[in-house]
Amino acid sequence: MEESSFLRWTTQKSDYVIVHDPLKRVFDTAFSLCFLICFSPLFLLLSLLVYFSSPGPIFYGHERIGRAGKKIKCWKFRTMHKNADKILTKMLKKNPVMQAEWNLYYKLKSDPRITPIGHFLRKTSLDELPQFFNVLVGELSVVGPRPCVEKELHQNYGEKVLKILSIRPGITGVWQTSGRNNLTREERVKIEETYIDHRTLLLDLKLILKTVPMMIFSKGAY
């Protein structure tokens, strides 16, 4: 692994190499705290919209794999109806085209589980704003590889899995600013690995700035 301006030392834990980035951690904490304070009115508004749009909790914690293989819950505003898994299973059994799309991307462009407000939140990525709380507690970084579910790890990353899990996953990153769900798994692995090899504070700032227009124009988001 190439060293970056962030990298100060690495330690071995089990089979994982854990990369410690003190400067990046300070930046993540300060940025997230400022963001949560400045946009607290938006958080309140979105919470009310989710609450009144459909029955169910406001937030949803989805289990993902974090740095060094640690299981974490990535918090989002809820975007799906109740019994979402049952709805999905029923639709996939009826529709082989939809099943093929799910097998390729683990997402659906026309997902029957998503609520009306959920479509808007996903298109703009506003559903992921609660993940700044994950950043504050050190489970995520503002910028990094996108965290994936356990069953996707070796299927998606293969021999690159230890490298991908050497740093904290991020709320945004090269995947979100380079096509998102329009990318294949192979393309996603390649760009995530490139980020790990060449990450710098300046690159993180550029990716954060690129995220804003991606949210507005919603390219590749569903």
CA nearest to 18, candidates 163, 160, 138, 166: 166
Which tokens sit at 119?
A: 């479509």
Is residue 5 predicted with pLDDT exceeding 50? no
Per-residue pLDDT of 123-180, as tens digits, reads: 888 999 999 999 999 999 999 998 888 877 777 777 788 888 899 999 998 887 876 6
In 56-149 the beta strands, taken as DSSP E runs, fall at 59-65, 71-77, 141-143
Which tokens sit at 187?
A: 């393309």
CA nearest to 75, candidates 32, 20, 24, 19: 32
pTM (predicted TM-score): 0.79
Supply the pLDDT for residue 15: 60
- Are 162 and 16 a contacting pair, CB within 8 Å? yes
Compute the average pLDDT of residues 98-111. 73
In a 10 Å sphere around its CB, with 0-12 CB exposed, 13-18 middle and 19+ buried, how is residue 137 labelled? exposed
Compute the average pLDDT of residues 198-216. 86
- Are 182 and 215 a contacting pair, CB within 8 Å? no
